[in-house]
Amino acid sequence: MKFQIRATDILLALMFGTLIFLAHDPGEASGVTEKSFLFLLAILQFVEGRFAVLNTLRGRVTLITLQMVILYLLIGYDGGIGSSYFVLLLLPIVSAGGSLGVVGSLVTPIAAVIVYLSFLLFLNFEVVEVPPEQVHILVIRCAALIITAVGVYTLSVVIRRQSAEYKSTAEELAAANQNLLAAEAAVRRSERLAALGQLSAGLAHELRNPLGSIKGSADLLARSASRNDPIAKELGEIISAEVDRTNSLVTRFLNFARPLEPRCEITDVTAVIDRAAARAKVDIERAYSPSLPQLSIDPELMEQVFLNLIQNAAQATENGAPITVSTRETAGRAEISVIDQGCGIPADKIDTIFNPFVTTKQDGVGLGLAIVSKIVDGHGGKMAVESKPGEGSTFRVLLPIPAKQDARA
């Protein structure tokens, strides 16, 4: 594991180094033992929080228990109840208060007091007399350990609460930033669509008149040449058919450019889906939620939405592969999903699939999904798509649910 040296590590090294240097040396063996215990305590302080295994509950309890054992031996070697090292009992108390919660923060200082007062058992009270001043000092020392434990735990609770608040604020800011980016993208897209809609409307109107003249002339040519010149008749029919196809495309341009004014009414959306499937002549697998309430939608416009999505799914799916339409309520919205197992959508087009003139079909114009998105937006809804090339696509229509509505029968 890679260690990062912190300023507190340097300070701890200096302080423990000073304690080790100043350790008592009444005898060779005793002096070395005190220094060894202090060195072990220093090691435990340095490794605390650096290893994943020590950040678990078992790891923290083990670390604090080792500190207690070493401190018991250290205080015992330094004279027991009168040892100046009693203050180091604050180390496990601080560790517990910052990591073990209320139970650990209560048990640890009690254990520290028991460890410290246990050295009274080694005194021969028939020979040794403990003056009242020493009893007073012992009480103060034990109380200081308890008070420190309470203070550390209180501070750790405040720090954890503030950390949780900061984390929550950071998450809210990140979500707000994502929403802002999405809103900016939606505004830019709306501006582009508005400009494109105006251009499409003007161009469509300008094309309608010459197309009418061309079709009329082609029909007249086909009728007049029907007997004497079969080639001219065939060419006239081709011209007329191409004019009809072009006129259909112009109509789609106008539908895209026309301002959308849904005529909403409370409707069973599953009935609208069934009508769309019947018009598309596509068999679908129904996964309708019986608890989904009725929605306030324009039945004709939403039928056009589902007709387009079901037709697209059928065109992308090989014969025999099922097309599923499911409904459910999620996050206060109605979610209608059209799921196919077709060819999927290329990754470079997944983010722009609802833009006009973006299509994955060889003969497609790229207005169908743009119109679908416009209708759903007009209902206060949202479109979403998930797709994996070669595995299929899922188009989701998210529509608002009326605030007050009786449950469906």
Complete DSSP assignment for 34-75? HHHHHHHHHHHHHHTTTSGGGGSHHHHHHHHHHHHHHHHHHH
Between 35-44, 99-108, 119-128, 284-293, the lowest mean confidence (pLDDT) is in: 119-128
Percent of the chain with pLDDT over 90: 17
Same domain, 269 and 396: yes
On the 0-12 / 13-18 / 19+ scale of CB atoms within 10 A, 184 is: exposed
**Whether 30 and 110 share a structural domain:** yes
The count of structural domains within the chain is 3
Domain membership of residue 134 (yes or no) is no
- Structure-block tokens of residue 276: 């769309």
Domain co-membership, 31 together with 109: yes
Tokens representing residue 400 in the block: 């608002």
How many whole angstroms separate alpha carbon 90 and alpha carbon 167? 30
Mean local confidence (pLDDT), 4-27: 75
pLDDT at 257: 65
Asked whether residue 43 is domain-assigned, the answer is: yes
In whole angstroms, what separates CA 292 from the centre of its chain? 25
The CB density around residue 71, as the number of other CB atoms within 10 Å, is 23
pLDDT reading at 358 higher than 70: no
Give the pair of three-digit tokens for residue 42: 């220093």
The answer to whether residue 29 scores a pLDDT higher than 90 is no
Could you tell me if 248 and 282 lie in one domain?
A: no
Q: Which of 230, 257, 284 is the last residue of a domain?
A: 257
Is the CB of residue 380 less than 8 Å from the CB of residue 334? no
Q: Which two tokens stand for residue 316?
A: 């992308």
Q: Please report whether residue 2 resides in a domain.
A: no
Q: Are residues 347 and 228 in the same domain?
A: no
Q: pLDDT > 70: what percent of the chain?
A: 86
Q: What is the mean pLDDT of residues 4-30?
A: 72
Does any domain span residue 169?
A: no
Q: In terms of DSSP H, where are the helices of 87-131?
A: 90-99, 101-117
Report pLDDT for 407: 41
Q: Which residue has the higher pLDDT, 129 or 290?
A: 290
Could you tell me the two tokens for 405? 């509505």
Of 305, 307, 274, residue with least CA distance to 288: 274
| Position 164 in a domain | no
Q: Are 10 and 54 in contact (CB under 8 A)?
A: no
pLDDT digits (tens, 9 = 90+) for 73-128: 888 888 888 888 888 888 888 888 777 778 888 888 888 888 888 888 887 777 77
The answer to whether residue 141 is domain-embedded is no
Residue 184 and residue 294 in one domain: no
Overall residue count recorded for the chain in this entry: 409
Q: How confident is the model at residue 408, as a pLDDT?
A: 43
Provide the residue range defining the domain that includes 295: 265-400
Q: How far is CA 48 from the centre of its chain?
A: 32
Confidence (pLDDT) at 295: 93
For 84, which DSSP code? G
Paired tokens of 292? 């989904």
Res 269: pLDDT: 94
Residues 272 and 248 in one domain: no
* Domain identity same for 200 and 325: no
Asked whether the predicted pLDDT for residue 324 surpasses 90, the reply is yes
Phi, psi of 280, deg, nearest 5: -75, -10
If one compares 264 and 134, the residue with the highest pLDDT of the two is 264
For residue 406, the model assigns a pLDDT of 43
224 and 331 both lie in a single domain: no
pLDDT at 246: 80
Question: Which of 213, 231, 257 marks a domain boundary?
Answer: 257
Residue 362 pLDDT: 56
Question: In what side-by-side order are the strands of the sheet with 324-330?
Answer: 285-287, 324-330, 333-339, 392-400, 382-388
47-56, 296-305, 398-407: which has the highest mean pLDDT? 296-305
Question: Which residue did the predictor score with more confidence, 24 or 136?
Answer: 136
In this structure, is the dihedral angle defined by the CA atoms of residues 117, 118, 123 and 126, taken in order, positive or negative?
A: positive
Query: Are 251 and 273 in the same domain?
Result: no
More confident residue, 360 or 63: 63
The DSSP bridge partners found for residue 286 are: 325
Q: Report the CATH number at residue 238.
A: 1.10.287
**Hey, what's the torsion of the CAs at 274, 276, 281, 284, to 10 degrees?**
-50
CATH of the domain at 327: 3.30.565.10
Q: Which residues does 168 contact at the CB level (< 8 Å), separation at least 6?
A: none
Is 50 a domain residue? Answer: yes
Vertex 345, ends 344 and 350: CA angle to 5°?
Answer: 145
CB 37 within 8 A of CB 88: no
The pLDDT tens digits for 295-310 are 999 999 999 999 999 9
Phi, psi of 166 (to 5 degrees): -65, -40
Supply the mean pLDDT for the chain.
81
Same domain, yes or no: 109 and 34: yes
Write down the pLDDT at residue 396: 94
The pLDDT assigned to 184 comes to: 83
Q: Which of 129, 156, 191 is the last residue of a domain?
A: 129
Nearest to 303 by CA among 225, 372, 404, 228: 372
pLDDT digits (tens, 9 = 90+) for 165-175: 899 999 899 98
In this predicted structure, what is the pLDDT of residue 219? 76
165 falls within a domain: no
- pLDDT mean over 305-316: 91
- What tokens were used for 101? 């919660």
Are residue 72 and residue 103 in the same domain, yes or no? Answer: yes
- 219 contacts 202 by C-beta, under 8 angstroms: no
